[in-house]
Chain A
Amino acid sequence: GEDVEQSLFLSVREGDSSVINCTYTDSSSTYLYWYKQEPGAGLQLLTYIFSNMDMKQDQRLTVLLNKKDKHLSLRIADTQTGDSAIYFCAESMYNAGNMLTFGGGTRLMVKP
């Protein structure tokens, strides 16, 4: 079955690093994604990683994938107040027609 889980909240101080975690259950995942949603807006694709990779870095964002533990994380370096949003992880699975399954979202609050 498909299940993607995330913690509900994360609070950090401006300038610190944020680490948002996600676990999934299906080992046939092909791609894993991180989306950002600001209040009242749609979801914005931040980054994604192919399942045969274990790390991807894109400016302040670092994605780590531990396929053995089915654990995905998003690290935001030098977190800014503009990073406050809800972050969703999602997985797509080849044997599910590449449909995405989303986690419930983690609300990141950045304190000045």
Chain B
Amino acid sequence: SQTIHQWPATLVQPVGSPLSLECTVEGTSNPNLYWYRQAAGRGLQLLFYSVGIGQISSEVPQNLSASRPQDRQFILSSKKLLLSDSGFYLCAWSMGQGNEKLFFGSGTQLSVL
């Protein structure tokens, strides 16, 4: 069966520090991968998605970047965090075959102080 791992679960970082959140998927190959941000337990904002290694689409221009160095690995990064980057970050994957059921990781609560 497929599983998705996301870490860390919580992170407190000072303003101006770098960020690296990692997500890996097991049990499937060539998944579509996604990074979402959720502010204050509300709606989801799609940040990045990837349909293959090295292929990244950005939905919202901002202080963040994403990379997919391996088929089942998706990384969210920042060189210098802003206060506004605080939020709950969710990684997700789908099979990309028409019925786009998304399966989510457990999330990372990021607090930028």
Contacts and interface: CB of A to CB of B under 8 A. Distances in A.
Interface string B1-44: 00000100000000000000000000000000000000001111
A33 interface: yes
B102 interface: yes
A98 B98 contact: yes
Chain A residues touching B, range: 20 to 34
Contacts of B107: 40-42
B60 to A, nearest CB: 13
B102 A100 contact: yes
A63 interface: no
Of B6, B44, B49, most A-chain CB atoms within 10 Å = B44
A80 interface: no
Contact of B100 (A31, A35, A41): A31
Given A41-B106, A43-B90, A31 B99 contact: yes
Contacts of B42: 104-105
B44 A102 contact: yes
A43 B98 contact: no
Interface string B72-113: 000000000000000000101000101111111111010000
Given A40-B109, A45-B101, 15 more contacts: A33-B102, A35-B102, A41-B107, A42-B6, A42-B92, A42-B106, A43-B90, A43-B104, A44-B104, A50-B99, A88-B43, A92-B99, A98-B99, A98-B100, A99-B49
